[in-house]
Amino acid sequence: MKIQKEQILDYNTKGLQNHNENFDFLTNKLSKNGHKVEEIISKLSEFQVAIPSWALGAGGTRFGRFSFYGEPSRLEQKLEDVGVLHALTKTAGAVSLHIPWDIPQDYAAVKQQADALNIKFDSVNSNTFQDQKNAKESYKYGSLSNTSQAVREQAIAHNLDVINIGNKLGSKSLTVWLADGSCFPGQNNFQTAFQNTQDSLKDIYKGLPDDWKMLIEYKPYEPNFYSTVIQDWGASLMLANGCGEKAFTLVDLGHHLPNSNIEQIVSILQLKGKLGGFHFNDSKYGDDDLTVGSIKPYALFLIFNELVYGMENNPQNPDLAWMIDASHNVKDPLEDLIQSLEAIQEAFAKALLIDQDELKAAQLDNDVVKCQEILQGAYRTDVRPLIERARLNSGGVISPINAYRSLDVRNQLIKERGRNTVATGL
Amino acid sequence: MKIQKEQILDYNTKGLQNHNENFDFLTNKLSKNGHKVEEIISKLSEFQVAIPSWALGAGGTRFGRFSFYGEPSRLEQKLEDVGVLHALTKTAGAVSLHIPWDIPQDYAAVKQQADALNIKFDSVNSNTFQDQKNAKESYKYGSLSNTSQAVREQAIAHNLDVINIGNKLGSKSLTVWLADGSCFPGQNNFQTAFQNTQDSLKDIYKGLPDDWKMLIEYKPYEPNFYSTVIQDWGASLMLANGCGEKAFTLVDLGHHLPNSNIEQIVSILQLKGKLGGFHFNDSKYGDDDLTVGSIKPYALFLIFNELVYGMENNPQNPDLAWMIDASHNVKDPLEDLIQSLEAIQEAFAKALLIDQDELKAAQLDNDVVKCQEILQGAYRTDVRPLIERARLNSGGVISPINAYRSLDVRNQLIKERGRNTVATGL
Amino acid sequence: MKIQKEQILDYNTKGLQNHNENFDFLTNKLSKNGHKVEEIISKLSEFQVAIPSWALGAGGTRFGRFSFYGEPSRLEQKLEDVGVLHALTKTAGAVSLHIPWDIPQDYAAVKQQADALNIKFDSVNSNTFQDQKNAKESYKYGSLSNTSQAVREQAIAHNLDVINIGNKLGSKSLTVWLADGSCFPGQNNFQTAFQNTQDSLKDIYKGLPDDWKMLIEYKPYEPNFYSTVIQDWGASLMLANGCGEKAFTLVDLGHHLPNSNIEQIVSILQLKGKLGGFHFNDSKYGDDDLTVGSIKPYALFLIFNELVYGMENNPQNPDLAWMIDASHNVKDPLEDLIQSLEAIQEAFAKALLIDQDELKAAQLDNDVVKCQEILQGAYRTDVRPLIERARLNSGGVISPINAYRSLDVRNQLIKERGRNTVATGL
Amino acid sequence: MKIQKEQILDYNTKGLQNHNENFDFLTNKLSKNGHKVEEIISKLSEFQVAIPSWALGAGGTRFGRFSFYGEPSRLEQKLEDVGVLHALTKTAGAVSLHIPWDIPQDYAAVKQQADALNIKFDSVNSNTFQDQKNAKESYKYGSLSNTSQAVREQAIAHNLDVINIGNKLGSKSLTVWLADGSCFPGQNNFQTAFQNTQDSLKDIYKGLPDDWKMLIEYKPYEPNFYSTVIQDWGASLMLANGCGEKAFTLVDLGHHLPNSNIEQIVSILQLKGKLGGFHFNDSKYGDDDLTVGSIKPYALFLIFNELVYGMENNPQNPDLAWMIDASHNVKDPLEDLIQSLEAIQEAFAKALLIDQDELKAAQLDNDVVKCQEILQGAYRTDVRPLIERARLNSGGVISPINAYRSLDVRNQLIKERGRNTVATGL
């Protein structure tokens, strides 16, 4: 399954006049207010978000899983799926692999396929939260933090393997998410667990190529329900500082206690030059992994306000690894990802409409009402024409969900793959 | 201080062309998609939200209060303030009084003033959470739920007084918010407290005029920090059912535990014909009483989606008492209220753009992606031109915050009242 | 595997003197303070908690499952396991089956086995949250609330089957837990979903034998992450009232939003005569299903305070169905259940030490300090000798965890069953 | 009001026999199990908790305050109250002053009074969250983080004043709690606010005497309801590290988001040598400031488990400043504080009963069940006889609440001070 340029051009003809009208009207309005529309569109076009290889099939919960039809069952098919997303949206130009679920058989072939689809290999993800068949040691009681040296060594070696695999594909960062923690008071010695984790991370860090980054994720709970070793950004930052300059904190939107002010965390990490990556999703209760922007789109906009500020004002902070990390329990995974990509672009576009100078002036005046007016003024703008134009400029479609359905993509995939396939790792 | 029609007309001239362009463009687009724009504008014009008399001065926290300049210090000035809000926005055509803070001296004069400003007297609010000077009994350990009969009788008598006062002004409902509860395990017998409350409410209900409603508020915590007698909608509904047909549940957005699905509560109450009123505000942590729509505007939109549905489909549910219940710690209270009114109108307008038939069809198909597209399609629309037009049609201003500042209202108020006035009850 | 009386007697000899010393000392102290120790012990002996058939193997999370050795792989072995628990603790004299995981092949044999182990069949549980192999309709988008009549009918028929199965075994209640809800705003029409659920429950209710109860569980979220049809006790109670006198609300400790006051819910439900059952577990974040009493033992005690009060003062409320509903991710399931049973007995014993007359008097005096002293006085008492005595009186062991290990039960089970068995439903 | 030694001796005679029986029985049991009871009692006797000067009168909420009778209205009376607490409990041998509420008129006299009562001056607290009469600059929009240099300088100067006042009294640390933050998105530039705070703290740090510590408190929200500059331990630690070796993080139990694992924070801060102080209270919803141990006593025990571990194993961490920070809305403040002191001693005593070697061994075995047994074994022990003995050894009373009432302390205070006094700062 590959979407052809002709299909896209053909699809776009229908909506073009309508798009042009909307775009011209909006551009005219924005320009009058001093916005540089071309610049915004150019930034939108450049913005690329990685698709995780495990998000292309149906997800589930501990109560079960309802599978979806035509899921990709091997790496090549996963790349195909990302190719579809990228062809339509032109914002999914990267994939983030999960090892051991996605170990390539033939590296050259895989790279060639990705090149043809214009997809890069973004951060690679290790897995020390599940036991693999025939594994010598078990991660039941932790991996990098385990009290057993043999377990820690196995987990370190796995991470070094992952770096090696990623290196062959052109990845430039390793993402470490640890499930390590405890389910009951007393189970862990917090200090020992923390120090073991620090030592293990240092050992992995030693194996990191010079131009790589190590991204350390945090999460307050699940799958452990009493404590997690890297429970918040403070712990992650401490560990990153303990490793060195190439280690950074990675923020996943769903990995916070209720009511956390995530935008402030993002901002302070950028100030310190230590924000390394970002996992997008949305949630109402916990790490619900819902479609980006489906529950709290204004919070996403506020986060992008900080990210835009940081990209402009914090040269000390590196370029970020952007990824969607959602689970698709009741939607077609590809449609879900398209909706996520749209929501990200929307939040980014609106954040780019904030007049930072005006905002700064209002802040200095303590004019709280005006600060809010400025943010809400940007947020209330219907930016869809800008996103459409950015996509069109890059060769994508005006309306990706609509195009996906018009082109009957899912049925094509089912035809090619059969109905009841299951993606590796699910 | 009274805003004159001429001032409004004069102010509007500047922005009219711009408004017309935006409105025409949007109307054209919406009409093509089958929306009846005139009908939407008419609904927006009719929608009126009560301003609570205690929200016209600066609020505070237990850590202190930073006062604002030119606050209204007596009822007449409070009505003046509501008059300003209504003149500009044409959506604040009601006031909700709080007794004993706002007992009129001269009922006829007060009614005349309100009539002249086109303001109605909405629900009246009793206060049994504070001791009044020279009160015989104390509410320290509860009011309607108190174990002491004398305290309960005082609280019941006060509520009957409030009905009487409201009746003279044309109010048609009594809002009962109880702080009753406990700070420590064991302090209260839950069952006794609940039954006392039920009995007390029944006694008040007996004094309710035939065309009145009793609105029973709920809240999980604060100012009591272990238990609250009416802790949630289930408890409120039980008490309302125990009173009779004229008793209803009142929902205050800030009165919920973290992550509550408020729109579902609203929907089920309407199904049962028992949603009586609504207090608008916004919050991130608890009952923060922030400006409506300043934190979670999408959640507000989802609630309005249910309210719009209920208004169309639930004839069993009465017309609602709408009120803003916010506290203004760092903003000019009038500007804060204008921002709240705008946010309410925006959420209502967007909810009116949802195609309910299309949504129902998608729901029946279990097309979750399309359900989301429909909601987000409405939400992403920039509806400001519609709200502006609704205001213009009613004689209000295009942009209320801007007009408020252009007309220099606050400085006028300070000139008339002095800087360091304090509103009753604050 | 069956534990013999001789093994128990033999085991108890070692600790008996120590137990007697402790028991005599405590009894002496308590008696001086007016406590009727014999009565307390008798209540403790009578108190029996059902073990759910699905809690005898290792649980897992959506991130995977680490299996345990020697798990029971069929109903007979599950009953054996409950038999072990009951032999040691004498408080696990019931089992709660889950259909379709535990459909008996030979009813007579199963009943005979249970009788021999002195185990009753408590509430039976239906499952409409997973699709069974070869099922005609899917529950992906709901069961009793589904918009499709065919799906609802399948779910209703399943529940009627479950009643039938339970009836053959001597069960007297059906527990309905619905996962029904939605993952995204707009997916469900709340009112339709609620009414469908009410109608479906009524159909099931019609099939309920006269001496049966229907227990309706509620839960705010998971596995649906935006809304759940029966989201709280208010919704459950409304549905139970809609069904009739034999329908009740079931409270599961983990099924609440953060910071909920569960003891108040329990108390008010008893006041209304509508608390039907109770699922014990503990949690820190969400529905973590941890060992009872492992995180918030004082909260459990406060709940038992209400339960004890209700058992004494609310004849309108029926006897409750007690069950443990925990998941065992890192502990031997049987040891985990023993710790849960101990924690339940402890909380019950401490609640029985509260002097209800003294408490009532302090409450009437608003002597909050004394109310707390009374509760904490009971809670601070070391009641282990009382629980030990209650067990001894019934033929159990002094210290169940210790005995379980001394008797080498797990290794016996592994020997009999093999290491890598997996329980049905896991 | 001063409690005389004779009164205490006299009071103790009644309960002594009972205490001795309990103590001897418990000691015998504990000694058999290898516990060194004398050592535990000695540690309990040495443990002293500071009473904050503002906690001696009734607290309130934003909805009002119900005052208590006989409150201390000036510093001398506050010290008297602490003297009463210390005479009875022998664990309240310190007071923590709040400036400007408690500026001494006559330093020598105040010191003499404190010496006579055996009370030390613990950490002094600055106040930049309220405007003082005649203050030149306002803290409405922040203090140390304010965008205005003049405001920051006023706040810095105030902190230096506080150090100076504390120095004259013998204090050795300054506690900085900042209310600084924002109520609305956009109001603050997070990075500017953070850097201003860091710079201001550095300026204060320069004025810190060599043998002093600076304790930096954190809090997620209230009185600001969108963001707080020092929102969590990570931010506090970053600021402390930015100041230098004498700056530390202070943990207040109520200053956390729902479900935070506080014991882990405490543990990791000790590992890093950066835990400087501790504010005790309890809460169910937010910063409720309830009596210590009244809601989650097991969580308090788990925290003490970490504190005990840290005191033994983390020489890199300094001695902690212990303080109760509760608010007394419905209890006699002195009785409330006595209950808090009891709960702290209880948690400490139970934590001292944990066999750390046994625990470590079980942790290394991943014997989660045993880890829990060890913790719960200690927690289930009734340690009241140990606490009584520690008090008796130091000259205090067996049962402080009981003694306080027997000695009719509150009525004495009312006689001396009158009923309707109000403490400064309330």
Kindly report, residue by residue over A52-69, the tens digit of the pLDDT: 999 999 999 999 989 889
Complex-level ipTM: 0.97
Using a CB-CB distance cutoff of 8 angstroms, which residues of chain A are in contact with residue B381? Answer: 382
Tell me how many domains chain A contains: 1
pLDDT at B424: 60
Using a CB-CB distance cutoff of 8 angstroms, which residues of chain D are in contact with residue C369? Answer: 331-332, 335-336, 339, 401
Contacts of C346 (CB under 8 A, 6+ apart): C293, C297, C383, C384, C387, D380
* Mutation choice for A interface testing from C101, C183, C257 by most A CBs within 10 A: C183
Cα A205 versus chain centre, distance: 22
pLDDT at C360: 98
Contacts of C242 (CB under 8 A, 6+ apart): C198, C201, C202
Comparing alpha-carbon positions, the chain A residue that sits nearest to B19 is A29
How close B329 gets to chain D, by Cα (Å)?
Answer: 8
pLDDT at C163: 98
pLDDT at A19: 98
- As a whole number, mean pLDDT of residues B88-99 equals 97
Query: Can you give the length of chain B in residues?
Result: 426
Higher pLDDT, D98 or B420: D98
Q: Which residue has the tokens 């003024």?
A: A377
**pLDDT tens profile B104-121:** 999 999 999 999 999 999
**pLDDT tens profile B250-289:** 999 999 999 999 999 999 999 999 999 999 999 999 999 9
**pLDDT tens profile B129-178:** 999 988 999 999 999 999 999 999 999 999 999 999 999 999 999 999 99
Which of C221, C267, C371 is nearest residue B190 as measured by Cβ atoms? C267
C309 in a structural domain: yes
Q: What is the mean pLDDT of chain A?
A: 96
Beta-bridge mates of residue A214: A174, A247
Residue D421 has pLDDT above 80, yes or no: no
> Using the beta-carbon criterion (under 8 Å), do B223 and D61 form an inter-chain contact?
yes
Q: Which residue has the tokens 């062959």?
A: A168
Under 8 Å between Cβ of A371 and A361: no
- As a whole number, mean pLDDT of residues A109-138 equals 96
- As a whole number, mean pLDDT of residues C334-348 equals 98
Which of A285, A294, A346 is nearest residue B372 as measured by Cβ atoms? A294
How close D258 gets to chain A, by Cα (Å)?
Answer: 6
Residue B412 has pLDDT above 60, yes or no: yes
A4 in a structural domain: no
C65 in a structural domain: yes
Q: What is the mean pLDDT of chain B?
A: 96
- As a whole number, mean pLDDT of residues A289-295 equals 98
pLDDT at B418: 86
3-state secondary structure of D138: coil
CATH, residue A209: 3.20.20.150
pLDDT at C22: 98
Residue D426 has pLDDT above 60, yes or no: no
Q: Which long-range contacts (CB under 8 A, 24 or more apart) does A38-46 make?
A: A40/A349, A40/A352, A40/A353, A40/A386, A41/A386, A41/A389, A41/A390, A41/A393, A42/A390, A43/A348, A43/A352, A44/A345, A44/A348, A44/A349, A44/A352, A44/A386, A44/A387, A44/A390, A45/A90, A45/A390, A45/A391, A45/A393, A45/A394
Share of chain B above pLDDT 70, in %: 99
Q: Lowest mean pLDDT: which of A193-207, B343-357, C238-252, D54-68?
A: D54-68
Contacts of B21 (CB under 8 A, 6+ apart): none
Which of A226, A257, A363 is nearest residue D147 as measured by Cβ atoms? A363
Which of B22, B294, B384 is nearest residue A372 as measured by Cβ atoms? B294
User: How far is the C-alpha of D125 from the C-alpha of D139, rounded, in Å?
Assistant: 16
pLDDT at A67: 82
Share of chain C above pLDDT 90, in %: 95
pLDDT at C88: 98
How close D326 gets to chain C, by Cα (Å)?
Answer: 15
A426 in a structural domain: no
Residue B426 has pLDDT above 60, yes or no: no
Residue C168 has pLDDT above 80, yes or no: yes
Under 8 Å between Cβ of A176 and A126: yes
> Using the beta-carbon criterion (under 8 Å), do A129 and C258 form an inter-chain contact?
no
> Using the beta-carbon criterion (under 8 Å), do A227 and D186 form an inter-chain contact?
no
pLDDT at D88: 98
User: How far is the C-alpha of A337 from the C-alpha of A340, rounded, in Å?
Assistant: 5
3-state secondary structure chain B: CCCCHHHHHHHHHHHHHHHHHHHHHHHHHHHHCCCCHHHHHHHHHHCCCEEEHHHCCCCCECCECCCCCCCCCCHHHHHHHHHHHHHHHCCCCEEECECCCCCCCCHHHHHHHHHHHCCEECCEECCCCCCCCCCCCCCCCCCCCCCCHHHHHHHHHHHHHHHHHHHHHCCCEEEECCCCEECCCCCCCHHHHHHHHHHHHHHHHHCCCCCCEEEEECCCCCCCCCEECCCCHHHHHHHHHHHCCCEEEEEECCCCCCCCCHHHHHHHHHHCCCEEEEEECECCCCCCCECCCCCCHHHHHHHHHHHHHHHHHCCCCCCCEEEECCCCCCCCHHHHHHHHHHHHHHHHHHHHCCCHHHHHHHHHCCCHHHHHHHHHHHHHCCCHHHHHHHHHHCCCCCCHHHHHHHCCHHHHHHHHHCCCCCCCCC
Residue D223 has pLDDT above 80, yes or no: yes
Residue A423 has pLDDT above 70, yes or no: no
D317 in a structural domain: yes
D2 in a structural domain: no
- As a whole number, mean pLDDT of residues D80-102 equals 97
Expressed as residue numbers, the domain containing B48 is 23-417
| Chains A, C: CB pairs < 8 Å | 109
Of the candidates C419, C403, C420, C399, the residue with the CA atom closest to the CA atom of residue C411:
C419
> Using the beta-carbon criterion (under 8 Å), do B263 and C190 form an inter-chain contact?
yes
**pLDDT tens profile D42-59:** 999 999 999 999 999 999
- As a whole number, mean pLDDT of residues A243-259 equals 98
How close C382 gets to chain D, by Cα (Å)?
Answer: 5
From the number of C-beta atoms within 10 Å of its C-beta (0-12, 13-18, 19+), residue C234 rates as buried
Q: CA-CA-CA-CA torsion for B352, B355, B361, B366, nearest 10 degrees?
A: -70
B365 — pLDDT class (breaks 50, 70, 90): very high
* Mutation choice for B interface testing from D330, D340, D420 by most B CBs within 10 A: D330
Using a CB-CB distance cutoff of 8 angstroms, which residues of chain A are in contact with residue D140? Answer: 366
C229 in a structural domain: yes
> Using the beta-carbon criterion (under 8 Å), do A284 and B294 form an inter-chain contact?
no
pLDDT at A273: 98
Beta-bridge mates of residue C125: C98, C175
Contacts of B101 (CB under 8 A, 6+ apart): B53, B54, B127, B424, B425
pLDDT at A421: 74
Share of chain D above pLDDT 90, in %: 95
Q: What is the mean pLDDT of chain D?
A: 96
Using a CB-CB distance cutoff of 8 angstroms, which residues of chain D are in contact with residue C299? Answer: 296
> Using the beta-carbon criterion (under 8 Å), do A63 and C129 form an inter-chain contact?
yes
> Using the beta-carbon criterion (under 8 Å), do B194 and C231 form an inter-chain contact?
no
Q: CA-CA-CA-CA torsion for B136, B139, B144, B148, nearest 10 degrees?
A: -60
A40 in a structural domain: yes
Residue C422 has pLDDT above 90, yes or no: no
**pLDDT tens profile D352-365:** 999 999 999 999 99
Residue A426 has pLDDT above 60, yes or no: no
- Residue D418, sorted as left (phi over 0), alpha (psi -120 to 50) or beta, turns out to be left
Residue D243 has pLDDT above 90, yes or no: yes
